[in-house]
Chains A and B, each alone.
Chain A
C-alpha cells in the first residue's frame, strides 16, 4: 500500500468496501427471514425481550426461530436448547473447515471472528480464503458487523409490524413457508434430498414425542442417512 493511501483520512479500506458490497445481496436475502422471526416472536407467548435478544445473541435464524416456536409450543427448556443446538450443529462443521484460515491469526480474532458465523458468512469467508491475514480480518469483521446490524434491525421491524397485521392473514404460516423455501435448494443433490425427506417424515411421525426429542431425532437421523447416501 502506498504512503499516499495510508495518509488519506477519507480512504476506505478496500477489504471493508469489498465486504460491504458482498454482504449487501446477502442482507436482501435474509430480510424476509428476520421479519418473519420478529413477527412470529411478537405474536407468540414468548417474552418479547428474550425473543429480541436472540437476534444479536444467537445470531442464527433457524436456531432462533426454532427457539421461539418451541418455547411458544410449550416444549421444556432443555428440549428447546437441545433442538436449537442440533439445528446449529452445522456451525461446528463450518468452524472445522475454516480453522486452518485462523491458525496464523491473533488469538482475539479467533474468539471474535466466528461470532456471526452462519451459512452466509461461511460462504463469504471461504470465498476470501486467499486474502492476507489483515485483509481477511477486516473483511470478515466488517461483513459480520453489517449483516448483524441489518439482521437485528429487520427483526425489530418485524416485531413492530407483527401486531398490526390482521390475524386473518395467518402470519404464523410464514414460518413453515420460510423453512420449506430454504429446504428446497439443498435438495437438488441426492444426499440432500434423502436427508430432507428423512428429516421431514421422522419429524411428522415423531411429532408427539415430548420435549422436542422427536425433532432432534429427526434431524440427527436425517443427517446421518444423508451422509450414508453421499458415501454410497
Chain B
C-alpha cells in the first residue's frame, strides 16, 4: 500500500512540475536563474543516482568498476544506451570470470 501511495505521490508531483509554468503561461515567468539551475539538475542527478545505485549492494568488486568504466567510455564515444549497457554487462561477466 505504501509503495502504491509513494508512486502516486511521485506521479502527482511530477505532473505538477510539468504543468507548472505551462498552465499559468502568460501570467508568470520563471526567474532565469532558477531555470538555469534546474537545467543543471540532470547531470548532477544522473551522476548521483549512478553512485547511489552502484553502492546499494555490498558486493562491489573490481569487475563492477571495470564494467562502469566500459559503459561510460562507450557512452563517451557516442554509443547508444543499449550498446553501452550490453558492453558494460559483458565487461562485468568477463571481469567476474577473470578476477
Main SS of the interface on chain B? Answer: helix
A interface residues, how many (CB within 8 angstroms)? 100
In this complex, the member of B34, B41, B49 whose beta carbon has the largest number of chain A beta carbons within 10 angstroms is B49
Alpha-carbon distance A95/B38, docked complex (angstroms): 11
The answer, among B45, B48, B55, B89, for a CB contact under 8 Å with A177, is B89
B67 touches A177 (CB 8 A): yes
Beta-carbon contact of B68 and A93 below 8 Å: no
CA gap between A41 and B32 in the complex, in Å: 37
Q: What A residues does B71 contact at CB under 8 A?
A: 177, 180-181
Say yes or no: is A23 at the interface (Cβ < 8 Å to chain B): no
Are the C-beta atoms of A227 and B40 separated by less than 8 Å?
A: yes
Question: CB within 8 A of A203: which of B8, B48, B57, B67?
Answer: B48
Q: How far is the CA of A231 from the CA of B40 in the complex (A)?
A: 12
Question: B interface vs A, CB < 8 Å?
Answer: 2-11, 13-15, 17-26, 29-30, 33-57, 64, 67-68, 71-72, 74-76, 79-82, 84-85, 88-89, 92-93, 96
Residues of A within 8 A of B (CB): 28-33, 36, 46-47, 49-51, 53-54, 57-60, 62-67, 69, 71, 73, 77, 80-81, 84-100, 102-103, 110-111, 113-115, 117, 119, 169-170, 172-187, 191-193, 195-200, 202-204, 207, 215, 218-227, 230-231
